[in-house]
């Protein structure tokens, strides 16, 4: 069947979060605090290992007291903040308030950059009359990120887990997106980087295509194969 709609994941698919070093450096600068360069790099590496940066690496270990919040983190904004600030607090910082500041930073457009081929691919799909949507496991509103980076005009529907209380791979989230775009699952391609979460679309009957979750500089054209899949 002809593909009439394409759903995209957000983090690791269309956009990439900044490095943990850039993240920490920006928050320290905003707070007017300084660390020695070796200490800053060590703290950034520890935050990365803790999985404290949403969109970055997964935690090497989730403490028992955070296990439930982590498992359900994308169902509400409160759980999302609790999970990520809880992971961050495993790493001592000069001021405890920095943990919430780090969380706040990751929700800003400055913390994200589109993959190099994202706009080109979205524009080409839209020009072919393909309906486009974003389906994301997330605890906050990502629409300002798309607006700031000029990608919002291509997106016909945003289906965000925290707004529905449902996380991928639950097929209901993908069904909601298909309904919003006016396409059937059998006419839809889901593009994402997480084989478990994004692969849930297959249970609904969607075709699925995976991209690699890599830094933007290492994945300059990872989205372009989607154009061939749509035809």
User: Domain boundaries in the chain?
Assistant: 5-16+113-230, 18-111
pLDDT digits (tens, 9 = 90+) for 110-138: 999 999 999 999 999 999 999 999 999 99
Q: Residue 163 and residue 192: Cα distance in Å, rounded? A: 20
Instruction: Find residue 157's DSSP bridge partners.
Output: 133
Mean of pLDDT values over 155-171: 98
Give the helix ranges, DSSP H, for the chain.
Answer: 20-31, 37-50, 67-71, 77-88, 97-106, 118-127, 143-148, 161-164, 171-181, 225-230
The mean-pLDDT minimum among 7-11, 91-95, 210-214, 227-231 falls in: 227-231
Superfamily of domain 5-16+113-230: HAD superfamily/HAD-like (3.40.50.1000)
- Whether the pLDDT of residue 1 is over 80: the answer is no
pTM of the model: 0.95
What percentage of the chain exceeds 90 in pLDDT? Answer: 99
Q: List Cα–Cα distances, 125 to 121, 131, 145, 206, in angstroms.
A: 6, 8, 20, 17
Q: Residue 167 and residue 171: Cα distance in Å, rounded? A: 9
Mean of pLDDT values over 40-61: 97
Res 169: pLDDT: 97
Round the average pLDDT of the chain to a whole number and report it: 97
Q: Residue 18 and residue 20: Cα distance in Å, rounded? A: 7
Mean of pLDDT values over 167-185: 98
């Amino acid at each position: 069947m002809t593909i009439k709609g394409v759903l995209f994941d957000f983090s690791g698919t269309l956009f990439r979060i900044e490095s943990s070093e850039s993240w920490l450096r920006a928050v320290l600068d905003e707070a007017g605090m300084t660390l020695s360069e070796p200490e800053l790099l060590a703290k950034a590496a520890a935050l990365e290992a803790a999985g404290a940066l949403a969109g970055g690496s997964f935690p090497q270990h989730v403490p028992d007291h955070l296990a439930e919040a982590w498992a359900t983190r994308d169902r509400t904004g409160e759980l999302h903040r609790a999970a990520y600030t809880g992971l961050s607090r495993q790493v001592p910082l000069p001021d405890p308030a920095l943990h919430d500041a780090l969380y706040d930073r990751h929700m800003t457009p400055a913390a994200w950059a589109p993959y190099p081929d994202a706009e080109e691919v979205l524009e080409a799909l839209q020009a072919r009359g393909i309906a486009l949507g974003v389906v994301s496991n997330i605890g906050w509103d990502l629409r300002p990120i798309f607006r700031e980076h000029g990608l919002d005009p291509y997106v016909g529907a945003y289906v965000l887990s925290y707004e529905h209380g449902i996380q991928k791979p639950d097929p209901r989230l993908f069904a909601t997106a298909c309904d919003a775009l006016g396409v059937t699952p059998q006419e839809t391609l889901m593009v994402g980087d997480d084989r478990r979460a994004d692969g849930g679309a297959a249970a609904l009957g969607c075709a699925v295509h995976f991209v690699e979750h890599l830094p933007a500089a290492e994945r300059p054209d990872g989205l372009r194969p989607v154009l061939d899949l749509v035809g």
